[in-house]
Amino acid sequence: MNSRSLDRLGIATVAVVVGFSLTVSLYHMLAHDAQLLATVFGQWSLVALSLVFGAVGYYALRTVDAANGGRIVGLRAGAGYVLAGLASAGYSLHQHLTPEAALELDVILFQATFMALIGGIAGTVVGLETARRKQSISDLEATTRRLESIQADIRSEKRRFESLFQNAPSAIADLRYADGEPTVERANDVFETLLEHTSADAEGENLFEVVPLRETETEATVAAHVADNEIYEGEVTVDRADGRGHYKLRVVPYDVGDGDGAGDGEGERAFALYTDVTELRRTQRELSDSVAQLEASNERLEQFAYAISHDLREPLRMVSSYLELLENRYGDDLDTDAREFIEFAVDGADRMRAMIDSLLDYSRVTTRGEPLEPTESAAVLEDVLTDLRPRIEESDATVTAEDLPTVIADADQLAQVFRNLLSNAIKYSGDEPPQIHVGADREGEEWRFAVADQGIGIDPDQHERVFQVFETTHTAAEGSASGIGLALCQRIVERHGGEIWVDSAPGEGATFYFTLPSTDTQVPSMISDVPAHGDERSDRGD
């Protein structure tokens, strides 16, 4: 029912009510010889009642909704019946006050009820239709808004897809498969790098005729994957105008049908993406060659270090032996200066032998190490303290330690780090007995160890220098050593994927920090082909 029909229905209802009321008024005047004013007042009070009750019904139904419709209808209907009762009472009172126009009670009630029903039914019908039409308009408007929103999203997604399609670093072709033949529907601008002409010229052509591959079996393999709605990935070789190119080919089906191989009647659809990996393959080859050269160089260096160690230790041993023999045999004939010179020479030979051993250990950190595995650092430290007990007791040192964690490490190399750091702390303690503390804190996926002393300290400008080979920041009077110990510690820690550094100032002691991976960190094992160097380890300084 449209709005014009509703208007006509309302006008007709009002006309019926008014006409009926006039008819009843005339009948009352003629039949009972009633006064005009009283009759009009009585009959038109029923008209007012009918119109009010109809308006109430109309308003109630046109505003009804699922949430509070029952309450609204109930309140409005209740109000309408109250008004009906008041109007009927008023009309009855009028009839009582004008005996000459008195009617029977049942006639009065019949007139009031009849008039109320007419107005109420009319109002209800009009209100119900208005509410339905209003709801339909509201639903239509909501649907329109949803459609507009969906269309806006579609336009946005289309623009986004088009931007991605045209600006992607890969060459992309939109394909339609018919009878197993991939026909190019469209291609982006990067696709032109595969061709000798524009990408528009490729449209409507077979992809593998436009971009011929050296791997001739690829076309059939790709077609089988598309028919099964599976993504194809593989590396292919393309003969370009500027030379041979290597590409990562990825074919992604997106409209293959319901799984039985039947598409939409126009063939399957797929995207073919060519990612240029020519430069990557060239870099990988160069890197592989460099690694091979580096491995060969390291092997030669290790052989050279071993040769130096083997060839130099024997002459040094002979020098030391003959000097001691000279002292023992002719000691009584030597003066004080001569004996002192012999001591300097023997000490120098011993230091040279220790330096050679240290260099050999330094060169073998990555090649002769044991696998990295869960290691109890507390047990390693306890073994080191046992080895250093004579020096600790001799220097009256105090070494304390917190509860240390289990880490991923080479136990022997971790012991070497502890041994060098503790030896340095004892050596550079100054005039006071050494006070050394070892602790560890968790930082993310690593453990940060700290070896702190209260010794002579290190100048901040020398913090990086102390980790360099043959570098030392202390004088001979302070106990300077070969300068390889801390460099060896750094190489060991770096092999474990960690870092080592120092926090110190002159006269305020030094704290050496180093990090090792926790047991829940994935660290590749570094397994040696040859057993670790088994010579006795000597204490080394910085």
Q: Report the alpha-carbon distance of residue 447 to residue 428 in Å, rounded.
A: 26
The shares of helix, strand and coil residues in the chain, as percent rounded to the nearest 5, are 60, 15, 25
Q: What are the helix and strand counts (H, E) for the chain?
A: 12, 12
Q: Report the alpha-carbon distance of residue 389 to residue 175 in Å, rounded.
A: 78
Based on the fold, state whether residues 179 and 231 are members of the same structural domain.
Answer: yes
pLDDT at 188: 87
pLDDT at 434: 93
Domain end among 89, 119, 138: 138
Backbone angles phi, psi at 227, to 5 degrees: -60, -30
Instruction: Provide the pairing of β-strand 243-255 with 268-276.
Output: antiparallel
pLDDT at 534: 36
pLDDT at 440: 94
Based on the fold, state whether residues 108 and 207 are members of the same structural domain.
Answer: no
Based on the fold, state whether residues 492 and 389 are members of the same structural domain.
Answer: yes
CB 160 within 8 A of CB 178: no
Tell me which residue range forms the domain holding 403: 369-522
Residue type, 123: G
pLDDT at 51: 61
Give the total number of structural domains in the chain.
3
For residue 286, CA distances in Å to 217, 246, 276, 282, 321 come to: 29, 16, 17, 6, 52
Based on the fold, state whether residues 234 and 129 are members of the same structural domain.
Answer: no
pLDDT at 477: 45
Q: Is residue 389 part of a domain?
A: yes
**Sequential DSSP letters for 84-116:** HHHHHHHHHHHHHH-GGG---HHHHHHHHHHHH
Task: Tally Cβ neighbours within 10 Å of residue 177.
Answer: 23
CB 515 within 8 A of CB 501: no
Based on the fold, state whether residues 129 and 240 are members of the same structural domain.
Answer: no
Based on the fold, state whether residues 109 and 206 are members of the same structural domain.
Answer: no
Instruction: Provide the pairing of β-strand 232-240 with 243-255.
Output: antiparallel
pLDDT at 529: 38
What are 274's two structure tokens?
């060519």
Chunked in runs of 10, what are the mean pLDDT values of the chain (542 residues)?
54 60 60 57 60 58 50 50 52 52 52 57 59 75 91 90 85 85 87 73 84 84 87 87 83 70 60 90 90 83 72 78 82 80 82 76 72 93 93 92 94 93 90 92 93 90 82 50 79 91 90 92 45 36 42
pLDDT at 475: 47
CATH of the domain at 212: 3.30.450.20
Q: Is residue 173 part of a domain?
A: yes
Q: Is residue 358 part of a domain?
A: no
Domain end among 138, 159, 187: 138
Looking up tokens 């580096």 gives 294
pLDDT at 468: 81
CATH of the domain at 479: 3.30.565.10
CB 219 within 8 A of CB 227: no
Based on the fold, state whether residues 27 and 108 are members of the same structural domain.
Answer: yes
Q: Is residue 393 part of a domain?
A: yes
pTM exceeding the 0.75 threshold for the entire prediction: no
Based on the fold, state whether residues 384 and 514 are members of the same structural domain.
Answer: yes
